Every structure is written in structure tokens, then in C-alpha cells.
Structure 1
Amino acid sequence: MPPSAVVLGEALIDLLEQPDGSFRPAVGGAPLNVAVGLARLGTPTRLVTGVGTDPFAATILGLLSASGVSLASVAEVTGPSPLAVASFQGAEPSFSFYGSLPIPALDAAIVAEAPVVYCGSIALLTPFVDVARAAWAIPGPQRIFDPNLRPFLLASSGVDRVREIVEEFAASADVLKLSDADARLLYPHLSPVSTALRLRSLGARTVVVTLGAGGAVLLRPDRGARPSAMADSAIHSTDTVIGLRTHPGAVVDTTGCGDSVSAALMHCLASGLPDEDAAWISAVQFALRVAAYVAARPGGAVAMPPLAEIPVPL
């Protein structure tokens, strides 16, 4: 069996607001969504996370196992599982988080042999960040980073600290996946593309900015020297900036759509994605099809598709 891709970050329970005002529990957490999405696409996947010992933990572990995600790096920690309360205005959720994130041990050998490793989301603003830093420093896998920010994170941690951590991980990322919401929270005075250019200037190799219904923008490595007098956030003639449209369809619930893009890109990388513009365009188009599938179904992690459900082959 080939080595597993490694996903680092939180696994938790989403409490989803219902039309009658009640809340329905569902397994969630952005890294968990990525791990489930990646495994369902057919890539062997290991989630490095921690769960509690309450009944919710059994539900989390059950979904991971049923989706084909390895539980070998999931630590069980005495106490309740973290909760995320999601309220809705239309299809877009707004989250509040409760509880601490359990911190697992890291097996460096597993990371070193992985084809790709992912980190991002709220785990980076907890002591879990030390696990992510240790994994990020291990040579071997391609690194994909998705900040996946929430407004409450900036309010509780401070914009400067959040931006510092994002810039730290982005600087050595092979792939930076950024949403337009992430971009606005990080650099309110810049456009999403300008934010992507700024972060790419720190060292990120390939950047994908998702724009919701607007599709995505793909920024590939600079083809030449950027004039030193030019601001990092300005497009130059040496830049490769490609706009890609989204795919039409019903939008029922956008929970997990961005995570499905990260999962799809990781699947392409683990499958041997060539470092060429044309290959990357096809990969992002594939990821947008996966996101459209997820948007048409409720539930985040449980909406992630098997590869056979995506009509366009890689």
C-alpha cells in the first residue's frame, strides 16, 4: 500500500442550526473534512488529531473509519470533544467554537514518507501549532496550507498574531489554498489576488484563491525577476495568474466546500501532479467540480464525494 497523505488539525462536532431553531450534531472540523474528502477520492490518508472520550468521539471515529481514514494517529484524550456551533444566514455558516483541542503525538517517519501534508484552521492558534510546525519542518512531502480563518479567531487572537502565523506557514508552502474571505480578514486593504501575490512573495510556490460562486484564481510561480520597486501585491508581466470559473448547480450548504478544494488538490498531488501550468489548471478545475458536488448537499464531511461521482476525469 502506498504511503498515506497526512492531514493535521482538529476533529470536532458541528452543531448545525435548523430552520426551527434547534441544532443538529454533525462531524466536522476543516482538517477532518479534508481527510474524509481525500480518502473518499481514493488517496490513503492519515489524520493527526485528538478526540475526547465522550459519545461524540465515537461518532467522529466512526465517520473517519467508514470513510477510509487511518485512525493510527488519532489520540484519545480524557474529556469532551470540541464543539463548533454553526448558525446560518442563507447557505453560508457562521461558527462559534467551544472546548479545547487535544494535542496528539507526531510520528516524524510517517510525515517524512507522505506524498503530501496539510495543515491549517483553528489548530494553528492553539498549542497544536507546535505539532504542525514540527511536521512542516520535516523534508519529503509537499506541503499544502489552508488558513481557513474565522472572524472570531481574529477577535480572540488578534489580527497581527494570526497574520504572523499565516505568513510563517505560507512562506514554505508548496501550495497555499486561500479563500477570498481569508484574504479579506488578513489584509482588508488588499484585493484577494493582491493578498495571494503578497503571500506568494514570501515563498509559497503555487497559490489557489477560491472566490465562491466566482470560481478560483490560480497563481503559479513567477516566471522572472520582479522589479524591486514594485509592491509585492501588484501584478507584473512575469506573473502567471489564471482565472477559472465555478461549475453551475444547486447550492444547498457551502460547509466544507473550501475543504473539498484542498482535498481534491491533495489528491492530485499525491497522484503525481506535474509542476506545469496546464496540469495545475486541470487540477483546479477538478477541485471546483468536487466543491460544486459538496455545495449541492448538506453536511460538510458527509457530503464529500467518491471519485466515481465526479464526472470529469483527472
Structure 2
Amino acid sequence: MTAPGRQGSALVIGEALVDVVIHPGQEPVDIPGGSPANVALGLARLGRDAELHCWIGTDERGKAVRAHLEASGVRLAAGADGAERTSTAQATIGEDRAATYLFDLDWNPPRPNLTDGDSPLLVHTGSIAAILAPGAATVEQVLRETRATSTIAYDPNARPQLMGEPEDARRIVERLVALSDLVKCSDEDIAWLYGEDADLESVLRSWLEKGAAIVVVTRGKKGALALSASGVRLEVPADPSVVVADTVGAGDSFMGGLEDALWSEDLVGADRREALRAVDAETLERIVRHAAAIADITVSRAGANPPTRDELP
């Protein structure tokens, strides 16, 4: 099925790694992953032209990551395989089916080669890549350079083990929010960044004030809450009929779904920024429901395994 919307590409900059997934009572299994890589994979499976600027090695795990991504149509940027080793994230699945992570990560990618006249419509980043030095400086530079041509999408996707103190991470997150058009996070991200008693809606509104056009928070079984610069407030409840296999990659699938929906609604590209900021309630609801439907499919099966467009309801 052809992806709707204008022709163009997405640049995703961030980590690709191997999830070493451990289910209760089972042997560990290596599964290629990484939050930004999962977003690129999700976009490619939906028929989008997605390029990933990551930092993997040419070791066996790096080869597995490359094969996994390229099999779904993701293009790896030149220089993305220059790391000494491919990073790993140990994902332990609990009895509640939720994943907790332990990381061994190297993040020092070169600056991507951005040529004039061939700018992506959409640039996505998030998670560890946007916080962890030294690569985080490259990420921020790319966002600043591409904002004049591209829609900027950002998912803080907090990883406390790697992001230092919350107040230090918060300063970086808020700086990147100010560069972004679309920001998606989870209620757990906000709790870590702003404290367990933080009011979700107040945080989202502060991000709108910093310049974001749309902010969305996922809240597990409570569903998603979205706010827009145009004044729309929208809640989309979770589907109680979804049977969860595990939550690995759920947020990444949701984020890719938001980006895909913006593309379908002709709201990507810097020339569509004002239209994005003026989004109406009906359009925003279509966008968030599309993302939720994609995430529901992902959580219904093991691992970060987002759907193709043909699998969508």
C-alpha cells in the first residue's frame, strides 16, 4: 500500500543497538533495537523513505542490526558503522510484561552529510542520543541546522541509568523541546524529569510555551493526552481489548505513528509549520488514534516489531 502524503524523506538520528531480551525463565535473545532505530523501522514499514544516522560497529551484532533495518527498507547513513562495538541494552521482561533496561552504550557519531536541496521533510531524534555526550552535541547541531527546512520531532524517552540527574537532563530536554514541532513522551518520562507529583498537563503546556506545536503524553492503560498550540486538548483512551505480549518498542511505534500521520495530513516540512501549529481537533484526533492503533499492534506481539501499512485496521 502506498504511503499517502508528499514525496520526501525522514532523517532519524540516534542510537541503534541490540536488545538482549530476557523473559522470565527463558534464555536471553538478541533482538536489534534502540529507540530511534525503532522509529526509523516503523516509518519504513509504513512506506516512508527513512534514513538512520546511528553509531554501530561492523561486529556480528552490528551486522545483525544493519540486516534487520535494511530488510524493512531503512537506509543507514554513510559512516553509521564506525563504532568499535555495537551497543547493547539488556531488556528484562517482568511478570507484568513491562521491560526494564540496562545499557552498554557508545554514542559518538560523525556529523551527517546534509546537502543543500536534499533536505528531509522530517527529522526525528530522542532518548539516549539526545542526552549522552559526546554525540548529543551532534544531535542538537543537526536539529538547529535542519529546522529551517524540516519538521522536528523529539521523544525524550528518559533512561535514568544513562542521563545523570533529572535536573541536568531536564535542561537539555527543554532546550530540545524549544527546537521541536512535535514532542511525544510518557507519563514515566515526566515523573522522572519533573518529579512524581508533577502535573502532566502543566508540563505539556510549558512545552507548548517553549515553541512546540503538538505535545503528546502516553499514560499506559489511561491512554494518550495531546495538547496543541492551537488550543486543542484531546484524550484518546486505551483499547481495553488489546492483549499485551510486552511493551518493548511501544512508545517508539506510537511516535512513528504520530509522524506518519502528520505526513499523511500534509503537515511535514518547515513550509507546513504554521499549518501544524493551527491543527484542528478533528485532525489531531486522527493523528493520535493512528499512532495508538500502530502501538497496539506492536504490544500485541513480542519485541519491537511494528506493523506494515497493510497490517493497519
TM-score w.r.t. structure 1 length? Answer: 0.88
1:260 to 253, 259, 270: 253
**Are positions 1:207 and 2:215 aligned together?**
yes
Identity %: 32
In the TM superposition, 1:1-314 aligns within 5 A as 2-73=7-78, 75-89=80-94, 90-109=96-115, 113-124=119-130, 125-138=132-145, 139-154=148-163, 157-188=164-195, 189-222=197-230, 239-247=231-239, 248-271=241-264, 272-273=266-267, 275=276, 276-277=279-280, 278-300=282-304, 303-311=305-313
CA distance in 2, matches of 1:136, 1:201: 19
- 1:228 corresponds to which residue? none
The 3 A distance-change label for structure 1 pair 282 and 114 is same
The 3 A distance-change label for structure 1 pair 255 and 82 is same
Q: Which runs of 5+ in 1 are unaligned?
A: 223-238
The residue type paired with residue 214 of structure 1 is K
Runs of 4+ aligned residues of structure 1 deviating over 3 Å after TM superposition are: none
- 2:271 corresponds to which residue? none
**1:134: Cα distance to partner?**
1.7
CA distance in 1, matches of 2:186, 2:38: 16
SS of 1:104's equivalent in the other structure is coil
Map Cα deviations across residues 6-34 of structure 1 (whole Å, 9 max, x no partner).
11100000111122253111001000000
The 3 A distance-change label for structure 1 pair 135 and 298 is same
Q: How many residues end up aligned between the 2 structures?
A: 291
CA distance in 2, matches of 1:78, 1:210: 33
User: Are the counterparts in 1 of residues 144 and 179 from structure 2 also a CA contact under 8 Å?
Assistant: no
User: Are the counterparts in 2 of residues 117 and 141 from structure 1 also a CA contact under 8 Å?
Assistant: yes
CA distance in 2, matches of 1:67, 1:111: 26
CA distance in 2, matches of 1:22, 1:219: 42
When the two chains are superposed, the root-mean-square deviation of aligned CA atoms in Å is: 1.8
User: Are the counterparts in 1 of residues 55 and 83 from structure 2 also a CA contact under 8 Å?
Assistant: no
- Structure 1 range deviating more: 68-77 or 141-150: 68-77
The 3 A distance-change label for structure 1 pair 43 and 78 is closer
User: Are the counterparts in 2 of residues 47 and 74 from structure 1 also a CA contact under 8 Å?
Assistant: no
CA distance in 2, matches of 1:158, 1:205: 27
CA distance in 2, matches of 1:99, 1:288: 29
The residue type paired with residue 288 of structure 1 is A
SS of 1:51's equivalent in the other structure is coil
CA distance in 1, matches of 2:149, 2:69: 25
- 2:270 corresponds to which residue? none
User: Are the counterparts in 1 of residues 186 and 218 from structure 2 also a CA contact under 8 Å?
Assistant: yes
CA distance in 1, matches of 2:78, 2:286: 32
The residue type paired with residue 114 of structure 2 is A
Map Cα deviations across residues 160-218 of structure 1 (whole Å, 9 max, x no partner).
21001100000121111111111111111312222211222222111011111211011
User: Are the counterparts in 2 of residues 14 and 26 from structure 1 also a CA contact under 8 Å?
Assistant: yes
TM-score w.r.t. structure 2 length? Answer: 0.88
